[in-house]
Chain A
Amino acid sequence: DAMVIQNPRYQVTQFGKPVTLSCSQTLNHNVMYWYQQKSSQAPKLLFHYYDKDFNNEADTPDNFQSRRPNTSFCFLDIRSPGLGDAAMYLCATSRVEGTDSYEQYFGPGTRLTVT
């Protein structure tokens, strides 16, 4: 089945130790998103790729970086995780054609714990 896959599902890292989360999709969608979601809060968009074009949200900390080497894969790099970065990280994809934008499909998420 076509889907959005995230690895790992659970990640534990130490304070300040770089960590990379991965996302892949078989939907061939042209837009990929990374969200951060903390308990009982709305998902917070960190950045998105429209094809190869990177779009950073104004309030996304510099500590967060992203790479999209090809259509199928997208990575979230946290250079120096702090305790406040512990959260669920959600990858999503959608198809956007001009002004037509369709619903987002989410991966299962990676729950990041920072010790």
Chain B
Amino acid sequence: GQNIDQPTEMTATEGAIVQINCTYQTSGFNGLFWYQQHAGEAPTFLSYNVLDGLEEKGRFSSFLSRSKGYSYLLLKELQMKDSASYLCAVRDGNYQLIWGAGTKLIIKP
């Protein structure tokens, strides 16, 4: 079966750096997405990786290793508003989007 694994919850301190990992096992691969979802709200798109390497976008960066079935989302200079769930989603060989359950990130002052 197809599977995406993310830690359920992480805690970090305001101003620090946090890395949220995602490992996947899918039938084929056509890209990996990271979404941010605040409690009670809809997911919003953060980043997309289809080739190996690091994509940087402001305070957020996303890394992909296709050979390892692994990605991470790196958040720098954490702010209180970054408290949210972070969802990893992989587009499989049939272009279907497989979602992880999300990592709840708690930011403490």
Contact = CB atoms under 8 A, between A and B. Distances in A.
A103 B31 CA distance: 10
Size category, B interface? 20 to 34
Given A42-B102, A43-B99, A101 B91 contact: yes
B95 A103 contact: no
Interface of B: 4, 8, 30-31, 33, 40-45, 48, 87, 91, 95-97, 99-102, 104
Interface of A: 40-45, 88, 90, 96, 99, 101, 103-109, 111
Given A99-B30, A104-B45, 20 more contacts: A40-B102, A40-B104, A41-B101, A42-B4, A42-B99, A43-B43, A43-B87, A44-B99, A90-B42, A90-B43, A96-B95, A101-B91, A101-B95, A103-B33, A104-B97, A106-B43, A106-B44, A109-B40, A109-B42, A111-B40
